[in-house]
């Protein structure tokens, strides 16, 4: 039987905030079984918390922002993607301020911290949302859907009218090894003209070539270039893994994304939660349900 998992000890991640440019830190702390994942502001009276669930997503512009009555926290997707890949079910993510450290713009700093903390299997079974029928959200221009699959698989396609990006696609079964090898080090990216505009508005003050891929009209301007030839689509797949954590339970299914951002992902998660007849809860331990991925649906949508 697959049991719920938390970390063995508290670990800290520190760096700068993407928007403020000021020093910031977070602490990953173990949580009891059946707790879930919470962001906690330890510097505010009463240490208010926000559950990592779709109902608390308040903004999907450029990043995913969670908000409760006392505080909000943005750019949560990089951190959460590492939790999804490492099968962390219960965790307190304690913050000393309003921002998460941006690290190098990837999920690596969070994955590294969690690996250093180690894992504890807890005495409660892990309950999955097992997709039994296709669930779709979007349009022909951009969409996301999930179909039955015995595991977690992501197929992601992006398309940008830039000579260094164009159309890129990745198809990957997700586990801690494939995540570390293929996704965790893929950095966020942006265009120089947009970055300059954001800084004029007092945003992205902590953004730099140390924590993002930046492109001008023709080239990647980072001195070190890219970590992967298709780093852009790898980062988008990583983002999607973070957003799917707001489902509130681990997903078993094949996630297929076409030009979808945080907005589409949030809508897909809400669509899954509303589609009670299209998934069921299972506990892994005995025989899995038959693998019934709907290939006709995949062919029709692609």
Q: What amino acid positions are annotated as catalytic residues?
A: 262
- With tokens 């003050």, the residue in question is 205
What is the total residue count of the chain?
302
Q: What CA–CA distances, in Å, run from 138 to 12, 55, 125? A: 38, 19, 34
Cα–Cα distance between 53 and 86 in angstroms, integer? 18
Integer-rounded Cα Rg, in Å, for the chain is 19
Cα–Cα distance between 189 and 232 in angstroms, integer? 7
Show the tokens assigned to 156. 């992601």
Q: What CA–CA distances, in Å, run from 45 to 48, 67, 101, 152, 164? A: 7, 17, 22, 39, 48
Contacts of 137 (CB under 8 A, 6+ apart): 143, 144, 145, 264, 267, 268, 271
CB atoms within 10 A of CB 274: 9
Q: Strand, coil or helix: what is 87?
A: coil
Contacts of 198 (CB under 8 A, 6+ apart): 204, 207
- The phi, psi pair for 226, rounded to 5°, reads -100, 155
Contacts of 178 (CB under 8 A, 6+ apart): 172
CB of 255 closer than 8 Å to CB of 154: yes
């Amino acid at each position: 039987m697959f049991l719920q998992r938390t970390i063995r000890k508290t670990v800290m991640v520190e760096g700068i905030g993407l928007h403020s440019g000021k020093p910031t830190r977070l602490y990953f702390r173990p949580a009891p079984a059946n707790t879930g994942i919470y962001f906690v502001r330890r510097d505010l009276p009463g240490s208010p918390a926000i559950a990592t669930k779709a109902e608390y997503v308040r903004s999907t512009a450029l990043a995913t922002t969670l908000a409760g009555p006392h505080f909000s926290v943005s750019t949560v997707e990089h951190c959460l993607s590492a939790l999804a890949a490492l099968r962390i079910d219960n965790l307190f993510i304690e913050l000393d301020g309003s921002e998460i450290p941006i690290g190098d713009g990837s999920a690596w700093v969070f994955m590294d911290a969690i690996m250093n903390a180690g894992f504890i299997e807890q005495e409660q079974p892990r309950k999955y949302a097992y997709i039994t029928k296709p669930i779709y959200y979007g349009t022909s221009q951009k969409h996301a859907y999930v179909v039955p699959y015995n595991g977690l698989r992501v197929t992601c396609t992006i398309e940008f009218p830039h000579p260094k990006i164009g159309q890129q696609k990745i198809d990957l079964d997700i586990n801690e090894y494939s995540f570390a090898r293929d996704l965790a080090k893929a950095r966020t990216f942006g265009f120089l003209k947009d970055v300059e505009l954001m800084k004029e508005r007092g945003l992205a003050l902590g953004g730099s070539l140390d924590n993002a891929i930046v492109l001008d009209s023709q080239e990647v301007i980072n001195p070190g270039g890219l970590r992967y030839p298709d780093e852009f689509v790898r980062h988008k797949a990583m983002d999607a893994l973070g957003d799917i954590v707001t489902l509130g339970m681990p997903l078993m299914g094949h996630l297929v994304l076409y030009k979808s951002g945080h907005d589409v992902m949030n809508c897909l998660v809400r669509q899954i939660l509303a589609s009670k007849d299209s998934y069921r809860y299972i506990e892994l331990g005995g025989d899995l349900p038959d693998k019934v991925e709907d290939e006709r649906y995949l062919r029709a949508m692609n």
